[in-house]
Amino acid sequence: MKNLAFFLITFSLCITSLSGQNEKFQMAMGKALGQMSAAKGPEDLKNTANTFSRIASAEAAEWLPQYYAALTHLWAGYSIMESNMAEAQALAKTALSEIQAGQKIAPNESELVALEAFAYQLQLLEDPMTKGAEMSGKIFATLGKAESLNPANPRVYYLRGNFTLNMPEFFGGGPAKASPDLQKAVAAYAAFKPASPFHPTWGAEEAGELAEKVKR
């Protein structure tokens, strides 16, 4: 997995621009996102996930804390999968539970559905030879759902392009197959405007790098 720096978001807290969110929630999310951006490794990420989980417990009507708890658990899982696949799979399972909790609050949120596919990708990596056929279809179907919910979500195209790029060519993967989604991702990131300073923005840098890679 690429250096965790590729996954860290640039966060600018603009509380006065927000509406409908209480100050306590705003402050807690700002602090937790700062903690996430400063994370140096899997333990920091897991600690940050715990912070988001506490916010989620206190703010039962908000889906974003569940989203970020799942996201940081997944980043931690991807970062340790080569050294401890069993724990990585446990983190993927935890993330899916958090995603499902978020979907109960926001059932039509594209970001949560795209993140669900990201969790399935980690589960597939436990045993690609055995799980590949079943899980690949599930991943593509889930990303298709996320796209239908919000075609402007750049993480849909980044995650699908990255997954396709890393699939064997005889299964329909490789650079040529991945390129359309990666080019879409670059364009979608350029046009994307998050709904608030707390909404997801990650993935632009790595999408750009992969889009250049498949051009070569």
Confidence grade of residue 20 (pLDDT, cut at 50, 70, 90): very low
pLDDT at 6: 39
Per-residue pLDDT, averaged over 4-23, amounts to 45
d(CA 122, CA 119): 5
Per-residue pLDDT, averaged over 163-167, amounts to 95
d(CA 214, CA 216): 5
CATH superfamily, with its number, for domain 4-215: Tetratricopeptide repeat domain (1.25.40.10)
Confidence grade of residue 1 (pLDDT, cut at 50, 70, 90): very low
pLDDT at 79: 98
pLDDT at 99: 98
Report CA-CA distances (Å) from 80 to 20, 83, 96, 119. 38, 5, 18, 14
Per-residue pLDDT, averaged over 20-36, amounts to 89
Q: Which residue has the higher pLDDT, 169 or 204?
A: 204
End-to-end CA distance of the chain: 21
pLDDT at 9 over 60: no
pLDDT at 16: 37
Closest CA to 99 of 126, 135, 74: 74
The DSSP secondary structure of 188-213, one letter per residue, reads: HHHH---SSTTS--TTHHHHHHHHHH
- Domain spans in the chain, listed from the N-terminal domain onward: 4-215
Q: Report the percent of the chain where pLDDT is more than 70.
A: 90
CA angle 193, 194, 199 (to 5 degrees): 165
d(CA 156, CA 3): 21
- Does residue 70 contact residue 45 with C-beta atoms inside 8 Å? no
Confidence grade of residue 168 (pLDDT, cut at 50, 70, 90): confident
- Does residue 102 contact residue 67 with C-beta atoms inside 8 Å? yes
> How many angstroms from the chain centroid is the CA of residue 119?
8
pLDDT at 182 over 60: yes
Eight-state DSSP code of residue 107:
T
- Does residue 156 contact residue 110 with C-beta atoms inside 8 Å? yes
pLDDT at 28 over 60: yes
d(CA 145, CA 156): 9
